[in-house]
Structure 1
Amino acid sequence: MMQGLSTAIAKSVIHHGRVLGRNSQIIQTLRPPCEVFINHRGAETKRSIAGLLHNFLSLLDVHPFLDNRSMKPGDKLFDEIDAAIYGCKVGVVVFSPLYCESRFCLHELALLMETKKRVVPIFCDVKPSQLHVRDDLKHSANNLQRYRLAVEEAKNTVGLTFYSSKGDWSKLVRDASDAVIRNLLEAEEEKPQLEPKFAQSTE
C-alpha cells in the first residue's frame, strides 16, 4: 500500500511542480520560515495525513511546519509553535476523534483563528458535528470560550472529509495540497501592493 502511495505522490509532485512553477515568483516573494502550519493531534495523525502532507508540501518547495520535524532539541516548544503560527499564511487543521482532548491542539487552533489565518480543515475519521470542547475543568473560563469559538469557526469552514477505513490517502494528500497552494496564492494576491516610488526632480 505504501509503495503505491509513494508512486501516486511522486506523480502528483510532478504535476503540482508544474502548476507551482508558473506561480513561483508569487510564492517566493518575502517567503517566511513557515508558510503552512499543520495543526494536528500527533498520536492520531502524525504518522498518516500530517506527516504525508508535510513531506508532500516540502517536495513542492513550500515551507510547512510540523512540530517534531521543524524543531530541534533545545527549542522552546510554545515559543517556536506560536512564532510559526504568527508567521504562517495558511493553517491546515487535521481534526481527529480525540482532537478536542488536547489543549495543545486547541491552543494552536484558537491562535490560528484569532490571527485571521486562512484555514483548511481536514476532518479525519470524525464528523464536524462530533467535535465539542468539554468543560472538564482543564481549561480556564477564558480559554474554554476561545477554544469553543475556534472549533465552531473551523466547523463552519469548508474543508475535506476523510475516513481511513475506505479512503484514498494519495487523493487526500493531493486534495489537501491543492487547497493549501490555492490559499497561499490567494493570500499573496490579497497583500497590499506597495506604491511605486518615483524619483523627485531636483530641477
Structure 2
Amino acid sequence: MECFMTLLHMCFRLFKFSSPSSGADDNGTDNPPLRGKYDVFISFRGEDTRFKITTSHLHAALLQRKIETYIDCNLQRGEKIGPALLEAIEKSTLSVIIFSQNYVSSTWCLEELVHILKCKQNSGKIVIPIFYDINPSDVQRQCGSYARAFAQLEKRFNDSIDKVQKWRDDLTTAASLSGLIIQKNQGN
C-alpha cells in the first residue's frame, strides 16, 4: 500500500495545478492544460491486474483527484484497438507500466511498451514502472515467466526475430528505470 500511495502522491504533485480537468488553482487563477489529452496512460496485463489494487484502484484514485487517466476500457465500441492505444500513449504526459507475471505474454502490452519508450525518447514523456508481484531484475533479465513467454514469442515470430529483440531491449530499458515494487497481497 505504501508504494501505491507513493505513486499517487507523485502523480498528484505533478498534476495538482495543471491537469486538463483542474481548471483553476487555489488562488482562482487558471492554469494552462498539460500538452496531452490525458495526464496518465496505464499499461497493464488485464488478467493479472485489472481488478487488483494496482490498476482499478490506481485508476479510480487518480480520477478522483481530477488526474485524467487512460486505461483500455476507455476504448469506444468499433474503434480499432491498436491505433487508439498508440494515440492515447502519445496524448498522455506520463505512462505507468505495470509489469506483472504475464505482461510479456501479450503482444499488445509489448507494443505499448515500445511506443511508450519511443515517446519518452522523442518527447521526454515520463515513464514510471510498477513491478507487481515480480522482481525488477526478472523483468530486466527476462527470467522466470518472462523467459518462458519469450521462448513462445521466438517460436511465434521466428521470421521476424528483430521484433522480439526490440521487445527484449525495451523491457531491459524500462526495467532499469526507477519504479515501484508492489507485492501481490500488499494493500489488498
Q: TM-score range by the shorter chain?
A: 0.7 to 0.9
For the structure 1 residues 129 and 72, does the alpha-carbon distance in structure 2 shift closer, same or farther, using more than 3 Å as the test?
Answer: same
Residue in structure 1 matched with residue 16 of structure 2 by the alignment: 20
TM-score normalised by L of structure 2: 0.72
Residue in structure 2 matched with residue 137 of structure 1 by the alignment: 155
Q: 1:124 aligns with which of 132, 155, 162?
A: 132
Computed over aligned residues only, the root mean square deviation of the Cα atoms, in angstroms, reads 2.8
Residue in structure 1 matched with residue 87 of structure 2 by the alignment: 83
TM-score normalised by L of structure 1: 0.67
Shift of 1:22: 8.8
Shift of 1:30: 4.5
Give distance in 2, aligned partners of 1:103 and 1:52.
Answer: 25
Q: Deviations over 1:124-178 (max 9, x none)?
A: 100012222514323322211221111001111111111122x235xxxxxxxxx
Q: In structure 2, give the amino acid aligned to 1:157.
A: L
Give distance in 1, aligned partners of 2:76 and 2:114.
Answer: 24
Q: 1:63 aligns with which of 38, 62, 68?
A: 68
Unaligned runs of 5+ in 1: 170-203
Q: In structure 2, give the amino acid aligned to 1:43.
A: E
Q: In structure 2, give the amino acid aligned to 1:66.
A: I
Give distance in 1, aligned partners of 2:169 and 2:156.
Answer: 17
Q: In structure 1, give the amino acid aligned to 2:78.
A: G
For the structure 1 residues 76 and 125, does the alpha-carbon distance in structure 2 shift closer, same or farther, using more than 3 Å as the test?
Answer: same
Unaligned runs of 5+ in 2: 20-24
Residue in structure 2 matched with residue 196 of structure 1 by the alignment: none
Give distance in 2, aligned partners of 1:50 and 1:120.
Answer: 14
Residue in structure 2 matched with residue 201 of structure 1 by the alignment: none
Matched positions, count: 155
For the structure 1 residues 56 and 31, does the alpha-carbon distance in structure 2 shift closer, same or farther, using more than 3 Å as the test?
Answer: farther
Identity of aligned residues (%): 26
For the structure 1 residues 152 and 21, does the alpha-carbon distance in structure 2 shift closer, same or farther, using more than 3 Å as the test?
Answer: same
Residue in structure 2 matched with residue 107 of structure 1 by the alignment: 111
Give distance in 2, aligned partners of 1:99 and 1:53.
Answer: 18
Task: Answer whether contact 2:42 2:69 (CA < 8 A) is retained.
Answer: yes
